[in-house]
Structure 1
């Protein structure tokens, strides 16, 4: 009887250790998200499931082209692409994006962007983000610059539906 009790406690400890490790991993390293809406088409489609890397920005800053999850409001997270970082001067005119006076090649855009913006400078500690489906995206053009503390993590891969599984670029 005593041997069964010690086996129970030993297995309980292992079980709790595994559960704790899974919870920590999900909270601080990789976590799943559901894409809601069409603002990131064609890169991401409505209802796709993605993996977000929360760990990567502990050792580097978000950079041009990164697809990130961010806290847009107290209750809503958005998925957008980093277009500008602190110190950048941006302008979107006649469907062409300019960063620091140079035209940006945006191969991920499938339509001409109808709503542009006049020249602006990204403040320190902030990012300018936009959806890939620019004509149907609520992004920095409306919600403003994104503070570093509101960045959740980098969208790394689509895992569902399985036939769409791929690394996000």
Structure 2
């Protein structure tokens, strides 16, 4: 009886250590708060964030990332600008290094807008806080998909890469919205 009890304790201890390792170094659960990523993500969506992706590599354009916005608050946004990029919006069109880019994840929001209204107000990167002509080395320009209701690089400036927690990879709750994020 005592030997069986010790085996159970050992099994729970191993499971606890593995859970801590996974939570600290590999994956983290995150709950979306607010409307800034509509229609891609909704407030209350539960996600798995991969911490290991950016330990082994770097964020890529259009990844959905979680980052430390303040000491107590994490934000979830989409990477638009990488180090060295010049970014601008003109007439609701994204330009990266002078080249027009499509943003299919915004189509539904754009179709709901009144005639003549833009989802993303015109701006150039040098108009953002910190005023650089390009995204600085080691930083990212991030925007929420719901451009009319998002606190992002337009207010915060570019985000240091070391503030990135990880990449949102899987939406697991609510069940009717289960999907891979990117």
**TM-score of the superposed pair, with normalisation by structure 1:** 0.93
Question: For residues 146-165 of structure 1, what are the structure 2 equivalents within 5 Å?
Answer: 146-165=159-178
Identify, as 1 or 2, the structure richer in strand. Answer: 1
Number of residues of Structure 1 aligned to a counterpart in Structure 2? 166
1:108-148 per-position Cα deviation (integer Å, ceiling 9, x unaligned):
11223242312431000000000011111110010011101
**RMSD between aligned residues:** 1.2
Q: Specify the alignment match of 2:115 in structure 1.
A: none
Q: Specify the alignment match of 2:48 in structure 1.
A: 51
Q: Specify the alignment match of 2:100 in structure 1.
A: 103
Q: Specify the alignment match of 1:5 in structure 2.
A: 2
Contact 2:32 2:45 in 1 (8 A): yes
In structure 2, distance between residues paired with 1:125 and 1:25: 26
How far is the alpha carbon of 1:93 from its aligned partner? 1.7
Q: Specify the alignment match of 2:140 in structure 1.
A: 127
How far is the alpha carbon of 1:78 from its aligned partner? 0.4
Q: 2:67 aligns with which of 59, 70, 94?
A: 70
Q: Specify the alignment match of 1:117 in structure 2.
A: 123
Runs (4+) of structure 1 exceeding 6 A deviation are none
In structure 2, distance between residues paired with 1:82 and 1:30: 19
In the alignment, structure 2 segments of 5+ residues that lack a partner are: 111-117, 126-132
**TM-score of the superposed pair, with normalisation by structure 2:** 0.87
